[in-house]
Structure 1
Amino acid sequence: MQITSRSLLMSYTMLLTALVFTIFFWFQARDVQAEWINVPPVPSETGALSFSIGDKQMAYRSFGLMLQNIGNIGGRSAALDSYNFDMLSGWFLLEDGLDPESDYVPMLAAYYFGGTPDETQLDPVIEYLATVGRRKGKEKWRWLAHAVYLSRFKQKDLDKALELSYILAAKAERENLPHWAKQMPAFILSQQGDKQAAKELLLTMLKENAEKMHPNEVNFTVDYICTRILDKSEAAEMPLCDAAK
């Protein structure tokens, strides 16, 4: 097949046009990058299952992985305090409906999203962890304990922490959990300045449960009363503290 000068000219013209278009497009699009659109809207459970052909575990794990990596886009990582935590709460509850037994999403909520530097964003996380932690189940109570921790130490909301600690203590009594969980209200009462209530709570625990407690737990409780709740003069007048010396 013979190539004519006209066909060559057309080929070069098309190539030049494509090159000019490519250069023009590059100048227009060179500053365009993937944008952080924040947490996407939460689908219904039916909508979520439609993405996994009705497989709850596939949906749970896929959306969990999405939550874990949601702020990493276009080679950049979004700061936790830029997340919409109210929208995240909806995802937590959706995932909880798909698999209420798994600890994957509670762990993400507690140890990843709970790390936000903006403590005002933590309310949805604390509410979710408290909901999960109230349930029966192996080690579920630890999420309730973490909700107390976030309220007490990150938000410094002692009233909320005390309210949650009473729920934790009641659960600890019913399910024979570690004694520090039962003692949590006393720790927070002491921090609030209500030393008398804290002392009475721990003394009652010693009176009713000392025989069931490990000696180390008894010693810790006595030491907490004598050195953290009472001052030196008050401790000197208390027989329990004298006996512990």
Structure 2
Amino acid sequence: MVALAFFSALILTSAVSSVLFCFAFYFLSRIYGYFLISINNPYSTTKGSKIAYIAEKTLEFIGIFFPRFDMFSKSEWLIYGVTDCFVICFWFYTHKIIPYLGIVPEVPTVNQTKIMALGDEQFFFRYLALYIQNSGDTFGRFTSLKNYDYSALLKWFLLLDELDHRSNFVPAIASYYYSNTQKVEDNKYIIEYLEKTYDKDPVNKWWWLGQAVMLAQNKLQDKHLALRLAYKLSTTPNDKLPRWAQQMPVFILEQLGEKEQALAIIKDLADKFDNYSQGEINFMNYFIRNRLGFLNEEIKKTPNWNIHMSKAAEKFFLSNCEFLIGAYKPSDFPLNKLPEFAFIGRSNVGKSSLINALVNRGNIARVSNTPGRTQQINFFHLAHRIHLVDLPGYGYAKASKQDVERWNHLIMNYLKNRSQLKRIFLLIDARHGLKPNDMAMIDFLNNFGTLVQIILTKVDKLSSKELENIIQKIQEDITNIAVCYHNVIPTSTVKKTGINGLKQEIYDIIK
């Protein structure tokens, strides 16, 4: 027992000693490395650069044997915290940086001195950043930032970018300094810097202008400056410019209350980018309309859809309309990119009659009632400019399960892949309102993002009060459904109620 206890104690002592040795070796090596790098300029040609190089390689060598001290994973924060605090304090003391906080030396103007300054001064600012980043708010980080001469500091950032324009650390440090200052107006310097950086190389440095937009919008609180920069960013000649960058002006205009301009940009984006998801366009469109109260205002009243059409819209719908194709499978879909308006609803809700009324033809959509036609997606070509699309009805009483599954697959493929689909009109029998099948269809359509607008058919069967009540009930049911446009269109193909309003609605979308 004594021997076992002795060996156990020996093993435990050895383990503890090894851990303490590793910790001490790592601790001292890290301090040594920081010390050498901080007191010797690695950018110069003096022997100091060689010493710094040796110190750097020493730390790398230590890392081979002790890669981030995985054995101390749970207490790693303590090791790094203690060593960093000691290093910062040691470096703080040796450099006596306190008197120099906020004092920015003049930027050299002669080319030779510019190059020489890339050594000491750049190194100084790098370590100044290290000091600030390792000091929490408790230690006065923001107090330090408040003391800087930001106009002078900006000149240094411009110089560093001039000397090493491929480096990314310069804008990163600059953004850090300026975005954390307590003087909000100082942000104008970094915004100016970021814009100048962008102007030098818009294709590759577009991101910096995006950062300038965010600083102008959120830090400087200058929405008009943010809008100017956002417009500039959105027109960057870069095919790989992300969509959020193209969309930036939209949301700033929304904040400024410029609703018409915001909606115009959305329409322009939809027209320019073929690979733009219609769902994304509809989301922005809905977001702005909803945020600006368009829908909330419209939901409070029942619009008069017996409006007088514009002459342009009237002429458009008097144009020739012809049956284009009945798509039995996705490969049958038309290949052109003409805008499309789809009509869907329960069987016998009146889709064919409505399409006939729209194009002023008594039998153009009659083909959808012939055997086989109802099992496919029918495309009608109007004025060589748009497609009216008749989707198969749902709620089939006599269809087999296999047919229903095939139709559902066909419809899903269409809704998912037709980027030119501008709107889906969901037809509801006014006498019955929204049925469970209709709500299930709305939930289904909500997955695709395309704006859905409800059309009530056969409203001639209802009194004015009944119609008002059914519209109000439907609007309440769809209030929280993002893809549903809240304006319900009441129609009657018998009395031509709402037909002109629907024509104008379609024409306004494509004009």
The TM-score normalised by the length of structure 1 is 0.70
Q: Distance in 1 between matches of 2:172 and 2:282?
A: 32
Corresponding residue of 1:195: 259
The residue number in structure 1 matching 2:43 is none
Answer 1 or 2: which has greater strand percent.
2
The runs of 5 or more residues in structure 2 that have no matched partner are 1-95, 134-138, 304-421, 424-450, 454-482, 485-511
Per-residue deviation, 1:208 = 3.0
Look up the equivalent residue of 1:163 and give its one-letter code: R
**How far does residue 93 in structure 1 lie from its aligned partner after superposition?**
0.9
Check whether the contact 1:198–1:229 (CA below 8 A) recurs between aligned residues.
no
Match of 1:36 in 2: 100
Pairing 1:152–2:217 present: yes
In 2, the alpha carbon distance for the partners of 1:204 and 1:234 equals 25
What pairs with 1:211-226 in structure 2 (closer than 5 Å)?
A: 211-214=274-277, 217-226=280-289
Is contact 1:60-1:95 (8 Å) kept?
A: no
Query: Is the contact between residue 195 and residue 230 of structure 1 (CA under 8 Å) also seen in structure 2?
Result: no
8 A Cα contact 2:104 2:149, kept in partner: yes
Q: Following TM superposition, by how much is the alpha carbon of 1:138 offset from its aligned partner in structure 2, in angstroms?
A: 6.9
Q: Distance in 2 between matches of 1:94 and 1:200?
A: 41
Contact 1:106 1:129 in 2 (8 A): yes
- Please, which of 160, 165, 168 is the counterpart of residue 230 of structure 2? 165
- Is 1:47–2:110 an aligned residue pair? no
CA distance in structure 1 between the partners assigned to 2:259 and 2:279 by the alignment = 23
**Aligned pairs (5 A) from 1:65-80:** 65-66=126-127, 68-69=129-130, 79-80=144-145
Report the more deviating stretch, 182-191 or 42-51: 42-51
The C-alpha deviation readout for 1:113-137, integer Å capped at 9, x for no partner, is 3211211111111011111123437
2:106, 2:127 → 1: CA distance?
Answer: 13
Superposed, 1:60-209 pairs within 5 Å as 62=123, 64-66=125-127, 68-69=129-130, 79-136=144-201, 140-171=205-236, 174-209=238-273
The code of the aligned residue for 2:107 comes to V
- Please give the secondary structure, in 1, of the residue aligned with 2:106: coil
Q: Work out the CA distance in 1 between the residues paired with 2:204 and 2:291.
A: 29
Q: Closer, same or farther in 2 for the Cα pair 1:76/1:191, shift >3 Å? A: closer
Q: Is the partner of 1:40 in helix, strand or coil?
A: coil
Q: CA deviation at 1:222?
A: 3.4
Q: Distance in 1 between matches of 2:267 and 2:202?
A: 30
1:20-31 equivalence runs, <5 A: none
Letter of the 1:50 partner, please give it. Answer: M
Instruction: Indicate the structure (1 or 2) with the bigger Cα radius of gyration.
Output: 2
Residue 295 of structure 2: aligned partner: 232
| TM superposition score normalised by structure 2 | 0.36
Gaps of 5+ in 1: 1-31
Give a deviation string over 1:54-111, Cα, whole Å, max 9, x none. xx6x578535515525879xx9865211100000111011101111111101011113
Do 1:135 and 1:141's aligned partners in 2 also have CA atoms closer than 8 Å?
no
Aligned alpha-carbon RMSD (Å) = 3.2
Identity across aligned pairs (percent)?
Answer: 30
Number of aligned pairs?
A: 204
